[in-house]
Every structure is written in C-alpha cells, then in structure tokens.
Amino acid sequence: MDKMVVEGGVPLAGTVTVSGAKNAALPIVAAALLAEGDHVVRNVPDLADVRTMGRLLTHMACEVGRGQDRRTVTVRVPRTVKPEAPYDLVRTMRASVVVLGPLVARWGQARVSLPGGCAIGARPIDQHLKGLAALGAELTLQHGYVEARAPRGRLQGATFVFDGQTVTGTENVMMAAALAEGRTLLGNCAREPEVVDLAEALNGMGARVQGAGTAEIRIEGVERLRPLSHAVIPDRIEAGTLLVAGALPGNDVTVKGCELSHLEALLEKLQQAGASIAPVAGGLRVVGGGRPRPADVKTAPFPGFPTDMQAQMMVLLALADGSSVVTETVFENRYMHVLELRRLGADISVDGKVAVVKGVPTLSGAPVMASDLRASAALVLAGLAAQGTTEVRRVYHLDRGYERLEEKLVPLGARIRRVAA
C-alpha cells in the first residue's frame, strides 16, 4: 500500500493541465449499456474508479478497451449482456449503481448489489429506486441486491420529483427514461455539470433530453439508441484542488483546461480568502500571495460550493489570519480529515455540520491517514504547505479520483513522491 511523502514549505509555480472528469466519465461509460455496438468515450481519466467501471461492464459480457492515448475508452456491447453488478465490484465503488437504470431500461431486468456504507455518510439510494419505480420498474431487495425488471418489457414515461437533489440518482433515472415509452418529466433534479455532460452524451446517442442543468429535465423516450461517441468535460474538482494549491501562501499556479463556469462558487471563496485569480488563455492563473484571509463556506448542490472541495478549502482556511465557519450540508460525516489536519497543527473544532477553523500561522509535517478521496487530496495540500515532512498513508483513496497527482505537482516544484509503504 503506497504512501505519499511530502517535503513542505516549497513555493509552487508553473502550469498544470486538468484531466477529464471522473464523475462524468463513470455514468457516461455506463450509458454504453443503453445500446448494442461499439462505443467510444474520449478524455477519460486513467483512474482506479474508471477501471472498476470497466471491470463491471466486462462482467456483463462487454469488451472494454483503452486507446493508445490512455484517454479513450472503447466499449463493445454485445446482443445480450449479463445484467448483473456483483457485490465484489459494487462495494469498491458506490457509483456502480448507475448501471441500474440503463440495464432495466435496455434489457428489461437488472440485478445490482446495494452499495454498502461509506466514510462520508449513509448515502442511501432510495431516490434512485423511487424514480425507477415511477417509470414502472418492479424492484425487490433480496440478499443485498436490488432485483429490477420492466414488467411490460419496456419502462413507461412518467412525472417524478426527487425528494432531495441527487447527482447519480438524476443520472440513473434520466438514462432509464431515455428508452422509456413516452415522455418523462423529472423535478428537483441535480444541476451538476456532470449531469449536463451525460445528457449531451445521451443526445449524441439519439436520445431526446432537454433541461439538463436546470431543476426540471424533460425526456422524450425513444425506441433505441446508437453507440456513444463523446468527449468528457474537464474535472472541476481536480481543477479546484490545483487552484487551492495555487492559492496557498507564496504560490503561483496556472491551471489549464478547466471550465470557468463550473468553478464560480469556489473562485468566489478563493478571492474572499485573498487569492488573486486571473483568466489566461485556456485556463486560470491563481496567485496565493501572503497569509490567507478567513472566509465562511457552506457546501450545497451545484451551483453552490461543492462538497467535494470542502476538505481542500479547509486547508487554506487553516492558515488564515482569523476564523472561518465551514458548514457541510450535503453529507453528514464529511469531517474525517479534521483529526488529521489537527495532527499537522491546525486548530479546528467540529460540532455536527459546522466546523470552526481558527487560522494558524504555520502547519508542521507529520504522518497522517487518508479516510476518503477528497480528504486524501486535502492532506497532500496540507503537506505541501507545512514545514517539514508529511507522510500521507492509504493513498489508494487518492488514486480513485486523481490521475497520478504527484506527477502533476512535481513540475510545479513540489517535493512529493510515492513510496511503497
């Protein structure tokens, strides 16, 4: 099991390019199940989670390949698939649940393991199931699996309003509705850029999806879809993580390939914290300058401040000249990184959803343990800012969502290396 060793206190400077978005690539690759044939998805990051999705489709009798450029994924979907997502794969990646909608819509049945618990929260899938049931799917839970089937061989268009905004829930039901008979109206939908990218990929397959990116999505079901040919959007969370690195004191980083409109809530908070941000050709330049200023942050569904940036932003606020209040509203247990940041000398107290971050002048390096994907990215950032050596253990969490992050940071001057623990 690898660990990351970071020698901190070295100013970062230079340009780094963002990879494709994990959280768009996963549902888009799963959308291949909606149509027989040869699918091509470009700008796909080479990540552990994407490989897991590949193994899942292979288990269903699809042929999954990667192009020479390591950025193109090909999927050959045969005439018949094995519509099953086994526990051993689903337990390693909750997002596997997005195969459920395509399978029941295209093949009339599916057997998908319930995703287990998660470090950041309970994360039920009740909204996914309620949405599919609204489209006429019959669902039973047996032996840890969701057994789903379309009793009339095909799902039926319907109106469904999500109780709460859910990203993969919206994606699952939207994909199912693409092949349902008639019109579907979805309300209180997630508006994340990844939902929009999936809708565009579906429309490229011949689907008729309108309104993605708003709270209301309208889908006119079609008989069949043609194979995918789509390029995935840039990863706004990877971009955000690199922008926070640039906003740390003394740094000057240009992030290329990111989409400005996906980052507004984060950019506003980075500017409040004193970073100077300027658009440049093909990206954004962020300069950290001196000690950050405090800023209150409240996470919310898009276009609000992304929960997937909360931990990274907390690192910047931990060095601020004053106190900040961070409120996590999306997940009920997303402060695992706080205990580890305290080991580096941060002064953070947590009470339920609210964390009070009292800024300290410096952090000092120490061995720390990653608990989940974004927490691990925050610990790497904290190690870069801290004096001395930080060892981040369990970096397998990091590799789920960052494509060899250390290889992107070293050209900026970071002293970071991966070591087999």
**Exactly one of 71, 374, 394, 397 binds ligand EPZ (CB under 6 A); which one?**
374
> Does position 312 bind ligand EPZ by CB under 6 A?
no
Min CB(299)–ligand EPZ separation in Å:
9
CB 202 within 8 A of CB 106: no
Mapping DSSP to helix (H, G, I), strand (E, B) and coil, where does residue 187 land?
strand
Q: Closest CB to ligand EPZ among 166 and 254?
A: 166
In the list 113, 127, 251, 324, the residue contacting ligand EPZ (rule: CB under 6 A) is 127
Q: Provide, for the chain, the percentages of residues in helix, strand and coil under a 3-state DSSP scheme, each rounded to the nearest 5.
A: 35, 30, 35
Decide if 190 contacts 169 (C-beta within 8 A). yes
User: Which residue has tokens 């940041």?
Assistant: 341
Q: Is 124 in the site for ligand EPZ (CB under 6 A)?
A: yes
Q: Which residue lies nearer to ligand EPZ by CB, 8 or 193?
A: 193
Asked, as a colleague might, if the bond just before 303 is cis with ω within 30 of 0, I would say yes
118 given a catalytic annotation: yes
Q: Which residue has the tokens 């399978």?
A: 103
The answer to whether the Cα torsion of 405, 115, 329, 119 is positive or negative is negative
Q: Is 166 an interacting residue with respect to ligand EPZ (CB under 6 A)?
A: yes
Segment interacting with ligand EPZ (CB under 6 A) among 64-72, 133-141, 148-156, 165-173: 165-173
Residue selected from 19, 23, 251, 390 as contacting ligand EPZ according to rule CB under 6 A: 23
Question: Applying CB under 6 A, does 238 fall inside the site for ligand EPZ?
Answer: no
371 touches ligand EPZ by CB under 6 A: no
What CA–CA distance (Å, rounded) separates 242 from 290?
A: 18
How far out from the chain centre does Cα 208 lie? 25
What would the x/- binding string for ligand EPZ be over residues 32 to 61, using CB under 6 A? ------------------------------
376 binds ligand EPZ (CB under 6 A): no
What are the DSSP calls for 356-367, one per residue?
EEE--S--B--E
- Report H helices in 96-166: 100-107, 126-134
Binding site for ligand EPZ (CB under 6 A): 23, 26, 95, 121-128, 164, 166-169, 190, 194, 307-308, 330-331, 373-374, 401
Catalytic positions, written as ranges: 118
